[in-house]
């Protein structure tokens, strides 16, 4: 295999080619464990998955393999640190998965990995077991053949990503020296489309709020009290209606103060991508896409902060009618932040604004459920560029660079605490249905991803003198 950095060891390539079935069967073992961190009834399965990943790290030849307590589900750690003068790469992944419900919509059993065509169907196949497992296979290919890795590597896998990742967040902040590295690699994202692999260089931060509005002490007869007692549901509706206007612009004073404008060259690159708005709308089951002001739909999703009402409740929701003034109402609101926005500042602005919209006769409370800082890495970074070229060679496809409207909070934590670049190289496809029934992983992407990881490690080692410049 010829590539930009030179020649990769033929032994490593041969091992990867000859051991596809071995890699796949090992991955299936991990997938069969129902490691659903959100469901206490599955605690035993989550812990078994952590134990199995620990066993696999030992078998492939990593050292100092251990389970690290976090107060919740443990971190799985292992390393290989025998490449003096070469960079140290921290590989991150998560072994927990989303609940599989609704079960009746699955075409195959969610925890029995099933191959259909070129896809492996199962919960966790793409998010994130298949993706992070590609790195473990690449390490095995080196250690079982040439007996060493091109670079120093640390691996950390968490078991609480799908429930907020509080354990690893705290651990990274308290044990930054132990995890010290020159770059972090995360495979937990997707391609731009089925023909264009992607490195994601920007992720959104998050603020998630719950608004509660309380009026009378109990539900009231709407005839006897209508017009005399303030209705919490109507009061909540007034508040929510003033969060955004019809142009999708957020109306919170000061909200956009720190938003970094989209650079002209980046805007040009985004416009050049073959983004099919009609196809995306069809895939979402929507009549059409919308956007903020004069920005395009993809610019709005990738580069602009967004606000969404995620749920509302209150009053009577049963069959037929019930004429009441409800005593309580509530809503949940998520805000996705972009680079330069501070979640703490946005939280203060949001809370103050919502309470300023309150009217006499009701009590308004705002609770912050979670928050996370935005993430952004320069596309020109040494590790980003070397990763792009390595995976282009392995995948046989041109790499594109994209932002994501979603959040991976730990990426920003790694960047902030460890002071190193984070490379988000995804192997998923947009139609992998992560978090949904019938999740899948492209097997060609999985196997080529193993080669991509191996090539990237070698690229970092061959030209590592440049990465500090």
CATH number at residue 30: 3.40.630.10
Last residue of one domain, picked from the residues 314, 342, 372: 372
In a domain, 285, yes or no: no
Same domain flag for 239 and 341: yes
pLDDT in tens, 27-53: 999 999 999 999 999 999 999 999 999
Give Cβ neighbours of residue 241 (< 8 Å, ≥ 6 apart).
none
Indicate whether 286 pLDDT > 90.
yes
CB-CB contact of 195 with 299 (8 Å): no
In a domain, 229, yes or no: yes
Same domain flag for 389 and 314: no
Domain count, the chain: 2
Same domain flag for 51 and 24: yes
Q: Average pLDDT in the 305-310 region? A: 97
Tell me whether residue 213 is exposed, middle or buried, using C-beta atoms within 10 angstroms of its C-beta: 0 to 12, 13 to 18, 19 or more.
buried
Indicate whether 285 pLDDT > 70.
yes
How far apart CA 120 and CA 28 sit, in angstroms, is 9
Q: Average pLDDT in the 86-115 region? A: 98
How far apart CA 114 and CA 119 sit, in angstroms, is 8
Same domain flag for 86 and 229: no
In a domain, 324, yes or no: yes
Same domain flag for 353 and 406: no
pLDDT in tens, 399-416: 999 999 888 889 999 999
In a domain, 177, yes or no: yes
Q: Average pLDDT in the 307-317 region? A: 96
Structural domain of 327: 205-259+305-372
Q: Which residue has the higher pLDDT, 464 or 240?
A: 240
pLDDT at residue number 413? 94
In a domain, 174, yes or no: yes
How far apart CA 136 and CA 132 sit, in angstroms, is 7
| DSSP class of 127 | I
Same domain flag for 125 and 210: no
| DSSP class of 261 | P
Same domain flag for 220 and 88: no
Q: Average model confidence (pLDDT) for the chain?
A: 95
Percent of the chain residues topping a pLDDT of 90: 92
In a domain, 217, yes or no: yes
Same domain flag for 243 and 123: no
pLDDT in tens, 185-211: 999 999 999 999 999 999 999 999 999
Same domain flag for 72 and 113: yes
pLDDT in tens, 234-280: 999 999 999 999 999 999 999 999 998 999 999 999 999 999 999 99
CATH number at residue 229: 3.30.70.360
């Amino acid at each position: 295999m010829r590539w930009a950095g030179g020649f990769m060891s033929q032994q490593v390539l041969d091992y990867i080619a000859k051991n596809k079935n071995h890699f796949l069967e090992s991955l299936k073992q991990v997938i069969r464990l129902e490691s659903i961190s959100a469901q206490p009834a599955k605690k035993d399965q989550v812990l078994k998955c952590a134990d199995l990943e620990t066993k696999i790290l030992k078998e492939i030849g990593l050292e100092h393999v251990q389970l690290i307590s976090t107060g919740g589900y443990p971190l799985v750690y292992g390393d290989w640190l025998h490449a003096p003068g070469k960079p140290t790469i921290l590989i991150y992944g998560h072994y927990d998965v989303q609940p599989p419900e609704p079960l009746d919509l699955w075409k195959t059993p969610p925890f029995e990995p099933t191959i259909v065509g070129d896809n492996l169907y199962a919960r966790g196949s793409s998010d994130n077991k298949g993706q992070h497992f590609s790195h473990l296979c690449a390490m095995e290919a080196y250690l079982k053949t040439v007996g060493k890795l091109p670079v120093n590597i640390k691996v950390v896998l968490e078991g609480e990503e799908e429930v907020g990742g509080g354990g690893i967040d705290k651990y990274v902040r308290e044990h930054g020296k132990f995890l010290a590295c020159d770059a972090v690699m995360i495979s937990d994202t997707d391609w731009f489309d089925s023909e264009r692999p992607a490195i994601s260089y920007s992720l959104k931060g998050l603020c998630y709020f719950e608004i509660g509005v309380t009026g009378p002490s109990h539900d009231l007869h709407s005839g006897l009290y209508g017009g005399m007692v303030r209705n919490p549901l109507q009061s909540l509706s007034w508040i929510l209606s003033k969060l955004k206007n019809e142009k999708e612009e957020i109306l919170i004073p000061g909200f956009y103060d720190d938003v970094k404008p989209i650079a002209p060259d980046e805007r040009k690159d985004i416009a050049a991508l073959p983004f099919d708005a009609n196809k995306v709308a069809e895939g979402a089951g929507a009549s059409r896409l919308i956007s903020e002001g004069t920005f395009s739909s993809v610019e709005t999703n990738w580069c602009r902060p967004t606000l969404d009402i995620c749920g509302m409740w209150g009053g009577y929701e049963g069959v037929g009618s019930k004429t009441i003034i409800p005593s309580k109402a509530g809503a949940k609101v998520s805000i996705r932040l972009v680079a330069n926005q501070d979640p703490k500042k946005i939280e203060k602005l949001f809370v103050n604004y919502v309470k300023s919209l309150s009217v006499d006769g009701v009590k308004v409370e705002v609770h912050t459920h979670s928050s996370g800082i935005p993430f952004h890495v320069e596309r020109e970074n040494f590790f980003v560029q070397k990763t792009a070229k390595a995976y282009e060679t392995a995948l046989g496809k041109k790499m594109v660079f994209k932002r994501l409207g979603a959040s991976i909070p730990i990426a920003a934590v790694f960047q902030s605490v460890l002071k190193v670049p984070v490379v988000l190289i995804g192997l998923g496809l947009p139609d992998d249905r992560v978090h949904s029934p019938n999740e899948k992983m492209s097997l060609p992407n999985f196997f080529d991803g193993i080669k991509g990881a191996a090539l990237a490690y070698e690229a970092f080692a061959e030209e590592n003198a440049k990465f500090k410049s």
